[in-house]
Amino acid sequence: LTREHADPYRTHPLHECEAATNGRGFRFYEPTLTLPAPQPPYDFPLFAAFSLLPFDSARALAGALLALAVAGTCAALIRLPALPATVVLCALLPTFIGPSLALGQIIPLYALAAAGSMLLIAEQRYALAAIAAAASLIEPHLGLPICISLALWVPKTRPALALSVAALAALSLFFGGLAEN
C-alpha cells in the first residue's frame, strides 16, 4: 500500500489489497476480517520489499523467514543457562506456530530480536545487545520496554541504543513523512 501511496492505516485500501491477493493461506482463520496494523513507517520497507514479489513467492519467503526467526529465538533462549530447552520449546512453539506462522505475523522477528538482546546482555556484548533491542521495535509496544530497561539499568548499552533508535526515527521520517509519524 505504501508503495502505491495508499494509507496503510485505513481499512478500505488494505482490505482491497488483501482480498485481491489472499484467497487462501495466512488468513484461513477469518478470511473476511481486515485489521490495519498500526506499524511504524520504519517497518514499511520490509513489507514493501515483499510486495515486489509475486504473492505466492512472497508468502513462501516470508514463511521461511518467520520459521528461521522462531528457530533462532529458541536457539538464543536455550543458550541462556536458566532456561531448559523443553521449557523454551513448550512455551514458544505453540504460540509461534498458531497465530504467528499461520497468519504471517511479524512477532517471530520481534521475539528473535528480544531473545538475541537477552543473550547478548548475558554475554556482555552491550553494543550488539542494544542494536538487537532496537530491532525489537519492529513491534514498538513490545520492544519499547526492552529499550527503556536497557537504557535505565545497563548504561553500557546507551550509546548504541541511542544511535539505533535515532536511525529508526530517521527511517520512519524518510518512509512515512511527518504526517504518518
Across 24-47, average pLDDT: 70
The HSE-up count of residue 144 (CA atoms within 13 Å, CB side) is: 4
Count how many residues are written for the chain: 181
Contacts of 122 (CB under 8 A, 6+ apart): 80, 81
Across 39-52, average pLDDT: 89
Tens digits of residue pLDDT in 95-105: 776 677 777 78
pLDDT for 174: 92
Torsion angle of the four alpha carbons 44, 120, 86, 143, in this order, in degrees rounded to the nearest 10 = -30
Contacts of 17 (CB under 8 A, 6+ apart): 1, 6
pLDDT for 132: 98
> What span, in angstroms and rounded, lies between the C-alpha atoms of 37 and 176?
15
Q: DSSP states of 98-131 as a string?
A: IIIIHHT-SHHHHHHHHHHHHHHHHTT-HHHHHH
Nearest 5°: the CA angle 50, 46, 12 is 75
Residue 84's pLDDT band, with cuts at 50, 70 and 90, is confident
What percentage of the chain carries pLDDT values higher than 70? 78
Please determine, for residue 28, whether its predicted confidence score (pLDDT) is greater than 70: no
Tens digits of residue pLDDT in 105-150: 899 999 999 999 999 999 999 999 999 999 999 999 999 999 999 9
pLDDT for 126: 98
> What span, in angstroms and rounded, lies between the C-alpha atoms of 81 and 41?
36
Q: DSSP states of 67-91 as a string?
A: HHHHHHHHHHHHTSTTS-HHHHHHH
- The region, left, alpha or beta by phi > 0 then psi within -120 to 50, assigned to residue 37 is beta
Q: Which residue has the cell 521495535?
A: 137
Residue 32's pLDDT band, with cuts at 50, 70 and 90, is low
Average pLDDT over the chain, rounded to an integer:
84
User: Residue 95 burial (CB < 10 Å; 0-12/13-18/19+)?
Assistant: middle
